[in-house]
Copies of this chain bind each other. A is one copy, B any other.
Amino acid sequence: MGYQAPVRDMKFLFDDVLQLDRFSNLEGFADAPKDVRDQILEEGAKFCENVLAPLNSVGDKQGCKLNPDNTVTVPDGFTEAYHALVEAGWPLLSADPAYGGQGLPHVVNMAYSEMTSSANMAFGMYPGLTHGCYSAIHEGGTDEQKDLYLPKLASGEWAGTMNLTEPHCGTDLGLLRTKAVPQADGTYKITGQKIWISGGEHSMTSNHIHLVLARIEGAPAGVKGISLFIVPKFIVHADGSLGARNTVTCVGLEEKMGIHGNATCVMQYEEATGYLIGEPNKGLSIMFVMMNEARLGVGLQGMAVGESAYQAALAFAKDRRQGRSLTGPKEPDQPADNILVHPDVRRMLMDIKAHTEGGRAFLYWTALYGDLLHKSPDEAVRQKAGDYMSLLTPVLKAYLTDKGHKNASDALQVHGGSGFTEHYQASQFLRDSKIAMIYEGTNGVQALDLVGRKLAANGGRAIQTFFAEIDAFVAEHEGDEQLAPFIAGLASARAQLQDATMWLMANGMSNFDNAGASSHDYLHVFGLTGLAYMWALMAKAAFAKAGSEPFYDTKIKTGRYFIDRILPEIASHLAKVKTGAAPVMALSAEEF
């Protein structure tokens, strides 16, 4: 049995925890009442389970091929699946109705995206990056550019890519060298090499729209001289028809540890025709729209691969019989019990389950704020939503992908030696999940973004709002006996997060290395606190319906596992935060 989308859990979040029907007065939400959402979840599940999941292993084993004519061949079945995806209209779910989209809430789309990433992460990146490209043009393009490019990007008929990295610069975009030379007709000639371009070339779509960061001749050095350009593979005429092949070529494919089904391209631009988006030298701010969306999407990948890895490990554990329960045979008529009886196997499965369900809640809860940011009529709500999106994006990206990789490793471990063979999918999940800790800004960069930028923005308003929300929740449920362990865990986590935050405020400014040295562990304190809050919210919703369905009791037990067995990790992260830079930076460069 392959991947089964966790539709029940998604419905629980939509209906019982987030209670999306509360927002039916808002644009988009009105079109997504429960019956519509349920249908989307169920149809999405069918598509991902039946079409995408069976191709996951195919993609891993075949990978992509660069042909002598610089075209790229994707794995068997990918093209048909991609066409089916476009035909079914899945990419349009949350796109702007002005460009053919359905305009549904992002939070609903997030559940569909999760299924895609669980079923086939490498495949899911093709429409994923296209959506990012769509968002950047939607944010920064002229009306003319939007009309020209957005409808076919929204539908997935064309592919979109993002081109940032060059061989000598990844994180440090200020170093980039790709140049743009202005032409008399207002276009630019783009020349340079970009690497690690996901989906940079393939024939699943009739065109590619590359978003390319480049430096206009004479622009300032560093990040202040970077502009953003649209470089179509085939020039798009004003009437939408396709013209000449542009001088952008895939000249290489990376050989990678995972996500083999996605073509990671070296793209060569040789005086390729490009169109400026937004103001000259202001390209990074538009690219960051795409990046932030992509970062949430990568956090989602971390969680989603954990889900598939969990399902595979659970299926193996139920099937594999080795040894006996420590408390006596559970199935004496069988030659051995299944390994689900062993507490250490349970520990690994419960770790993954509690992280994944908590992470899913945290992502959907945040995605809802993404909708409110754009759609709420209440300015205070929009401000809070914007603050949360900004503050939580690095936490979700880094915490959930760190844990996603750990979860995939534990899931492989449940398989024992079988997991190390490529006969099972466990290895692919482990290999695929690692990239999520790296791309769209390494997790170290996320942690620095959190402590260096996001915390202090607007005088710390975002985290103060987050603390106040938790405090109100704790106060509201203080006498609730059922919820007591969740409330106690949450209150303790919140206190430790505050402690860590105070330490950073007191020590991070006087020596920035203190902030840098503590950033990783601070982010983990934050992630654990966020999940503690999510589990408290979920426990509350589950207790309200406990007994009506076994699902709710299981949910509560899983939450207790998180509080009892995972949340204690917060203390050691806090201790590490407080050591500051001294032990970390003690060695001189020469001593290494």
Q: Is there a chain B Cβ closer than 8 Å to A280's Cβ?
A: no
CB < 8 Å: which of B169, B330, B336, B342 contacts A516? B342
Q: Is there a chain B Cβ closer than 8 Å to A165's Cβ?
A: yes
A515–B326 CB distance below 8 A: yes
Bound Cα distance from A144 to B447, whole angstroms = 65
B323–A171 CB distance below 8 A: yes
B568–A586 CB distance below 8 A: no
- Look across to chain B and name the residue whose beta carbon is closest to the beta carbon of A439: B417
B581–A343 CB distance below 8 A: yes
CB < 8 Å: which of B335, B345, B422 contacts A444? B345
Q: Which residues of chain B are near A448, meaning CB under 8 Å?
A: 344
Q: Is there a chain B Cβ closer than 8 Å to A554's Cβ?
A: yes
Given contacts A172-B323, A568-B572, A575-B568, contact A517 B421 (CB under 8 A): no
Q: How far is the CB of A198 from chain B (nearest CB, A)?
A: 11
A431–B343 CB distance below 8 A: no
- Look across to chain B and name the residue whose beta carbon is closest to the beta carbon of A561: B583
CB < 8 Å: which of B170, B342, B520, B592 contacts A322? B170
Binds B, one of A132-140, A252-260, A282-290: A252-260
Q: Is there a chain B Cβ closer than 8 Å to A469's Cβ?
A: no
Bound Cα distance from A255 to B557, whole angstroms = 38
Q: Is there a chain B Cβ closer than 8 Å to A400's Cβ?
A: no
Binds B, one of A44-52, A86-94, A117-125, A405-413: A405-413
CB < 8 Å: which of B421, B442, B557, B581 contacts A586? B557
CB < 8 Å: which of B419, B513, B517, B576 contacts A568? B576
Q: How far is the CB of A432 from chain B (nearest CB, A)?
A: 10
Q: Mark A250-268, 1 if CB is under 8 A from B, else 0.
A: 0000111110000000000
B420–A434 CB distance below 8 A: yes
Which of A417, A439, A442, A512: most chain B Cβ within 10 A? A417
Q: How far is the CB of A325 from chain B (nearest CB, A)?
A: 8
Binds B, one of A13-21, A205-213, A346-354, A475-483: A346-354
B412–A434 CB distance below 8 A: yes
Q: Is there a chain B Cβ closer than 8 Å to A161's Cβ?
A: no
Bound Cα distance from A574 to B322, whole angstroms = 28
Interface positions of A from 430 to 483, Cβ below 8 Å from B: 430-431, 434-435, 437-439, 442-444, 447-448, 452
Bound Cα distance from A444 to B254, whole angstroms = 36
Q: Is there a chain B Cβ closer than 8 Å to A569's Cβ?
A: yes
Q: Which residues of chain B are near A519, meaning CB under 8 Å?
A: 343-344
Q: How far is the CB of A549 from chain B (nearest CB, A)?
A: 12
Q: Is there a chain B Cβ closer than 8 Å to A22's Cβ?
A: no
Q: Which residues of chain B are near A506, meaning CB under 8 Å?
A: none
Q: Which residues of chain B are near A62, meaning CB under 8 Å?
A: none
Q: Which residues of chain B are near A550, meaning CB under 8 Å?
A: 590-591
A169–B343 CB distance below 8 A: no
Q: Mark A535-568, 1 if CB is under 8 A from B, else 0.
A: 0000000000000001001100110110011001
A422–B350 CB distance below 8 A: no
Q: How far is the CB of A195 from chain B (nearest CB, A)?
A: 8
Given contacts A327-B513, A344-B519, A416-B171, contact A571 B581 (CB under 8 A): no
Bound Cα distance from A420 to B323, whole angstroms = 38
Bound Cα distance from A416 to B570, whole angstroms = 26
CB < 8 Å: which of B255, B452, B584 contacts A565? B584
- Look across to chain B and name the residue whose beta carbon is closest to the beta carbon of A515: B326
Bound Cα distance from A170 to B568, whole angstroms = 34
A447–B255 CB distance below 8 A: no
Interface positions of A from 376 to 394, Cβ below 8 Å from B: none
Q: Which residues of chain B are near A520, meaning CB under 8 Å?
A: 344, 347
Bound Cα distance from A409 to B404, whole angstroms = 13
Q: Which residues of chain B are near A444, meaning CB under 8 Å?
A: 342, 344-345, 348, 413
Given contacts A169-B322, A557-B587, A587-B554, contact A413 B437 (CB under 8 A): yes
Q: Is there a chain B Cβ closer than 8 Å to A237's Cβ?
A: no
Q: How far is the CB of A194 from chain B (nearest CB, A)?
A: 12
Q: Is there a chain B Cβ closer than 8 Å to A585's Cβ?
A: yes
Bound Cα distance from A565 to B421, whole angstroms = 35
Q: Is there a chain B Cβ closer than 8 Å to A219's Cβ?
A: no
CB < 8 Å: which of B434, B515, B571, B592 contacts A318? B592
A336–B576 CB distance below 8 A: no
A420–B435 CB distance below 8 A: yes
Q: Which residues of chain B are near A516, meaning CB under 8 Å?
A: 326, 342-344
- Look across to chain B and name the residue whose beta carbon is closest to the beta carbon of A443: B413
Given contacts A343-B581, A412-B434, A583-B564, contact A327 B511 (CB under 8 A): yes
Q: Which residues of chain B are near A175, meaning CB under 8 Å?
A: 322, 335-336
Bound Cα distance from A560 to B343, whole angstroms = 35
Q: Is there a chain B Cβ closer than 8 Å to A191's Cβ?
A: no
13 extra A-B contacts, CB within 8 A, seeds A413-B437, A570-B572: A168-B321, A170-B322, A172-B323, A256-B422, A257-B427, A330-B589, A343-B513, A347-B520, A350-B583, A413-B443, A430-B434, A561-B583, A561-B586
Task: Tell me the A residues contacting B by CB distance below 8 Å.
Answer: 165, 168-172, 174-175, 196, 254-258, 314, 318, 321-323, 325-327, 330, 335-336, 340-350, 405, 409, 412-413, 416-417, 419-423, 427, 430-431, 434-435, 437-439, 442-444, 447-448, 452, 511-513, 515-517, 519-520, 550, 553-554, 557-558, 560-561, 564-565, 568-572, 575-576, 579, 581-587, 589-592
